[in-house]
Structure 1
């Protein structure tokens, strides 16, 4: 064979091998594709089975998250409404507090406020108006008409004067300064508290100058200055520690609601003890009078008993004389048929009068007998 033929044969053989290889490769490839597809399908199914619970959980979580978002929006709206309400309430409270503070800076309003707290403290102590205390009694003194806020009646006919004072101007200024954020707020507050202590001291001087105890006798030589707040006195004492000693030298007793209620309860207890003592004295007097009258009645009964005994003796003597002398002659008249009626002999009295046995009714030395005898003799 020539070279060309060999070349042609080789080419044909090569083409045939290539075609056969292509066919075989295609067949193998189709087989591998089917196998890979089956593996992929199986993997997808297995993955789907594993992922399904996770997907369900994620869906539930998404639903719950949407619900929480909805409720969160609602709660946020409510919270905003509440915050706004609190803000409005705080603003209203601030305005009212500011208005109250402004009002309490006026002397007339302060006086009425102090009198209201004083009356409340007296009522809490269990006292009754016009029985245990009198509100705003008036008396004319050397300096004109005096009218304290309260006059408390004590046991034994005594009384004590209580006057309410409300040194509030400097106290409010100190409180407002303490709430300020300024750098010197503490010093400003301390300065106002010092002024507050001086105002309390001036009230002490004013009450001492009035000398209520001279006009409302019998009264202890002191007057109670009522401060309607515990802080009014405590802050003043903190700024001026010698304030109580100064008040004592001026015969003024500062009192807060707590101390005043304790004082009035002590007065009320003294009143009750005085009432009990008065009742005991009344019982003693009535008992003594009853005892004396019983003793007097015992004397009369004793005298009556002796009279009855004497009368019984006289009666028995008369009966004996009647039977031994009169009826003897009368029966002789009956025997002579002067009369037909039967004469009846009266029976003597055999019962003796029971004598008194109580020594109080018989003993001349018994208590009260000598005094009664002296009064009768006089």
Structure 2
């Protein structure tokens, strides 16, 4: 009986334990499930955060790249703006320098012309005084002759005196009128010089585009400009300058000069036209990255022309005492640009016996030579007047001696 009760009593104890075990198992499973769910949620959240961080990092990188690109473009624009400002300042400076040079040359020309006018007025005054003195002396002599020998002074003798005096009077009058004409023309020459220089420079720039790329056309155009300057200088072709003259060079080959300006002392100045336009036109119209290249090409072209002209030695072939040839370039700005960027260009030319010249400087030289010719002509007239006056004096003296002998008889 006791054994049965024990067994029966053990049964409830075992079920309770089983229930507790089952509950614990369920709780453990639930806990594991919750932990698993939380862990998966945490992993998904972590992946979301990592994706968001990566996206933010990519946005930050893109934004940084955009800022860097913007800063680079701003720097490029600043450099371009600075370059354009410097270029504009340089162009303004060039024009200011050119205007200053033209004003200086014009002032120098006016000073020379004023000095020449003063010398002409002094010469005119001396000749007028001399003429008046001679006239007074002749009147005095004639009066004495008439008073002393009135009975023998016939109409024929008076006509002879008039014949003697008339050429001298005409020559002095002609000389006086020439001086007045030269003086009145000086101001007109100054104005014509300024206008012709402006016209030549304008024509040169207008024809630049039409001439680029054709060397033969450029050469013909340069010779045309040179011919125009010679005409406007007042020099007479055939008397004071000659063109296309052939000579025998030092190597026996025939050479032909463009222009030879003749001097009063039988010397001559050789001028040869050279046009260096293609590279200069490309330099003027080039973009920033190619301007330097075209500038170097332009300077090299000018140096090549100098070397070629120096090797020909036209001045020695023409037997000129001058040790150089003038290389005429019809575009002022082309020469100015080359000299500004190659400070030894002029020295290089002189070492080769070549002097660079432009329309402005050449016109000044030719006008000066023309004034030298005018002075030489006036000197010759003065010598001729003096010679005629001497001959007249000898004739008058001989006439008076004859009259004295007649009076003695």
1:148 alignment partner, one of 250, 257, 263: 257
Distance in 2 (CA, whole Å) between partners of 1:110 and 1:138 is 22
- Report the counterpart of residue 297 of structure 1 in structure 2: 399
Assess, with a 3 A threshold, how the Cα gap between structure 1 residues 99 and 116 changes in structure 2: closer, same or farther.
closer
Q: Is 1:264 paired with 2:366?
A: yes
Q: Considering fraction of residues, name the structure with more helix.
A: 2
Equivalent residues of 2:208, 2:281 under 8 A apart: no
Distance in 2 (CA, whole Å) between partners of 1:298 and 1:227 is 65
1:12-23 alignment, distance < 5 Å: none
- Structure 2 counterpart SS, 1:135: strand
- Structure 2 counterpart SS, 1:254: strand
Q: Is 1:157 paired with 2:157?
A: no
Q: Is 1:243 paired with 2:243?
A: no
- Structure 1 counterpart SS, 2:292: helix
Unaligned runs of 5+ residues in structure 2 are: 1-204
Q: Is 1:226 paired with 2:334?
A: no
Distance in 1 (CA, whole Å) between partners of 2:306 and 2:364 is 21
- Structure 1 counterpart SS, 2:265: helix
What is the Cα deviation at residue 203 of structure 1? 1.3
Distance in 1 (CA, whole Å) between partners of 2:289 and 2:349 is 27
**What whole-Å deviation, never above 9, does each CA across 1:351-378 have from its counterpart, x for those lacking one?**
xxxxxxxxxxxxxxxxxxxxxxxxxxxx
Number of corresponding residues: 204
Distance in 1 (CA, whole Å) between partners of 2:331 and 2:317 is 28
What is the Cα deviation at residue 100 of structure 1? 6.8
**Larger Cα-atom Rg:** 1
Assess, with a 3 A threshold, how the Cα gap between structure 1 residues 239 and 225 changes in structure 2: closer, same or farther.
same
1:175 alignment partner, one of 267, 270, 284: 284
Distance in 1 (CA, whole Å) between partners of 2:318 and 2:397 is 47
**TM-score, normalising length from structure 2?**
0.47
Q: Is 1:137 paired with 2:245?
A: yes
Distance in 2 (CA, whole Å) between partners of 1:166 and 1:215 is 23
Equivalent residues of 2:324, 2:353 under 8 A apart: yes
RMSD: 2.3
Equivalent residues of 2:283, 2:294 under 8 A apart: yes
**TM-score, normalising length from structure 1?**
0.50
Assess, with a 3 A threshold, how the Cα gap between structure 1 residues 148 and 187 changes in structure 2: closer, same or farther.
farther
Q: Is 1:210 paired with 2:312?
A: yes
Q: Is 1:120 paired with 2:228?
A: yes
Unaligned runs of 5+ residues in structure 1 are: 1-96, 178-184, 309-378
Q: Does 1 or 2 have the higher relative contact order (CA < 8 Å, sep 6+)?
A: 2
Distance in 2 (CA, whole Å) between partners of 1:158 and 1:285 is 27
